[in-house]
Structure formats: structure tokens, C-alpha cells
Chains A and B, each alone.
Chain A
Amino acid sequence: GQQVMQIPQYQHVQEGEDFTTYCNSSTTLSNIQWYKQRPGGHPVFLIQLVKSGEVKKQKRLTFQFGEAKKNSSLHITATQTTDVGTYFCALLYFRYIFGTGTRLKVLA
């Protein structure tokens, strides 16, 4: 099936370090969504970005939509152990296609 690449695939960080995951599309997007899935859990909706160059913040999480609406990033400042999980972007191509995900491990 169709897949959207996210980089990196895995990231191990020390608690307190920053973390960034990137999502790239070959086509212009109408919107992009981000989800978090804790180990053993299900994806949970975090945010939706719609406008070119849009930046949204949720506490230590910063989401950005590229100017060309072809890429997006999620940045976590000063990671905590509660940030552990897999972060997915989801792109709308008639239906939502999920990225391959970035698995984040935070070492205490």
C-alpha cells in the first residue's frame, strides 16, 4: 500500500534532550494530522495543520507545516519519559494515509 516516509525511523534520547520527527510528501497537501501511539496503545490525535507555514504549539510540542505544504515537523522540547511512543503523521489523499512513524525512546 501507499506509504509516507517519516524520518528518523527510531530515535533514542536522554531525558531532557530535544526531539524532532519529519514527514515529507511528494504532493501538496490540504492538511496534515499528527498522532501519538503509546506502546501497546492506539493512535491518539494530537493536532491538525491546514495553513501554509502554520506553527502550532501544545506545551512542549511544536508542530510546523511547510511553506509549500509538502512537509511537516513535530518538535518536542526537553523530552520526558511520558513522551515515549510512536509519532505518526497522516496525510489526506482522498483518505488519510499514515506515515511510517518515528519511534521515540526516552532514557531516564
Chain B
Amino acid sequence: KAGVTQTPRYLIKTRGQQVTLSCSPISGHRSVSWYQQTPGQGLQFLFEYFSETQRNKGNFPGRFSGRQFSNSRSEMNVSTLELGDSALYLCASSSGVGYGYTFGSGTRLTVV
């Protein structure tokens, strides 16, 4: 079956702009989580969605938001981009708590 699909793969944005990243989970997976990965901070949890509801949120400013649709696809949005937002954004889906994540290939965001 198809894996987790993230689009776009690469993105270059200017400070102050906003960006929307998309994630399509594995068919049947209703749980989608987002992580930010940087060399200095490792994998940092952003949000978790389950059946269109945000179940958990990490310690990120309000500029970071997300949502999940009825087909389990998820989007995350970052407004007023800052240089420090440059990172690899990873989406992961799972069958539920206690099951392993399947990660997408990520979206590499560069803010200039």
C-alpha cells in the first residue's frame, strides 16, 4: 500500500511569508502527527490529529497551525515565517497510540 505522502518536497520562502504543507497518511490511518527536525533541536513534536481533532500540541508559537480533513489528510500552516523556521517538516501516520509511526519523506523548508 502507498506510504505517507508529503508535498511539496522542497520549498524556499522569504521571511514574513506563509506556507502550507500537506500530508496524506497511509490509507486507514486516522492519526497524523507532525514533527520539525533541525540539526540543533532534533525531532520536535508539533501536533497530533485524530479523526479531524487536534489531540496534542507541542510547544510552538501560534504561527504554527494545522488541521485534518475528513479523509485524514492533514495540512500544517506556518505564518509570518522566520529564518529559524528553516527545517525538515515530517508527517507521520499510525493506526493509533501504541503503534509505530510511518513517516513521510518530509518537506524541507528554507526561509531566506
Contacts and interface: CB of A to CB of B under 8 A. Distances in A.
Interface string A27-43: 00011010100000111
Contacts of B44: 1
Contacts of B104: 42
A21 B60 CA distance: 29
Q: Interface on chain A toward B: helix, strand, loop, or mixed SS?
A: strand
Given A1-B58, A1-B59, A43-B90, A98 B102 contact: no
Interface string A20-58: 000000000011010100000111110110100000000
A24 B94 CA distance: 24
Given A48-B100, A95-B58, 11 more contacts: A1-B58, A1-B59, A31-B98, A41-B105, A43-B92, A43-B101, A44-B103, A50-B98, A90-B101, A98-B42, A98-B43
Interface of B: 33, 35, 41-45, 48, 55-56, 58-60, 90, 92, 97-106
Interface of A: 1-3, 30-31, 33, 35, 41-45, 47-48, 50, 88, 90, 92, 94-101
